[in-house]
Amino acid sequence: MATNPQLFLSLLVLSLVVAAAHGGGIAIYWGQNGNKGTLTETCATRKYTHVNVAFLNKFGGGQTPELNLAGHCNPATGACRVVSTAVESCQSRGIKVMLSIGGGIGNYSLISESDTKTVAEYLYNNFYYLKVETTSSTCWQHKNK
């Protein structure tokens, strides 16, 4: 049986195009390098399908949770609330934005069921879409629309 090199090449190119169109996306950690631009700028590149905002690196054990965005904003002053607009901008582009908890450095642990519930409530109340404004100054904020 004779083969047709042009047909083979055409099918190969077609299969590569289909694979690329249905392939997985690229994820990135954002927040640990203050020189790399804003979250809005990162999402505007359209290079990523997922952005992990890094890190909530202090929580549990009775501690007040702390967000570390390494120079992008200072959570202690409430300055990270601007990130909520960036999250919405990313989501409007179809980019999934997640909060990464833990990290390579920090002080975090869950020492009991009660502690776990407290941290879960903190995450829900401060990083999920809220019906009411939270009083926390450590995070960005969303509202149900």
Overall number of domains in the chain:
1
138 within a domain of the structure (yes/no)? no
Expressed as residue numbers, the domain containing 36 is 24-127
Locate 126 and state its tokens. 């401060």
Residue 106 lies in a domain: yes
Residue 13 lies in a domain: no
What confidence tens digit (pLDDT) does each residue in 17-57 have? 655 555 578 999 999 988 889 999 999 999 999 999 999 99
**Residue 43 within any structural domain of the chain:** yes
Instruction: Determine contact, residues 30/39, Cβ cutoff 8 Å.
Output: yes
Q: With respect to residue 70, please indicate whether it lies within any of the assigned structural domains.
A: yes
pLDDT tens for 117-144 read 999 998 888 887 544 444 454 455 554 4
- Is there a domain that residue 16 lies in? no
The domain that holds 68 is classified in CATH as 3.20.20.80
Q: Mean pLDDT, to the nearest integer, of 78-84?
A: 84
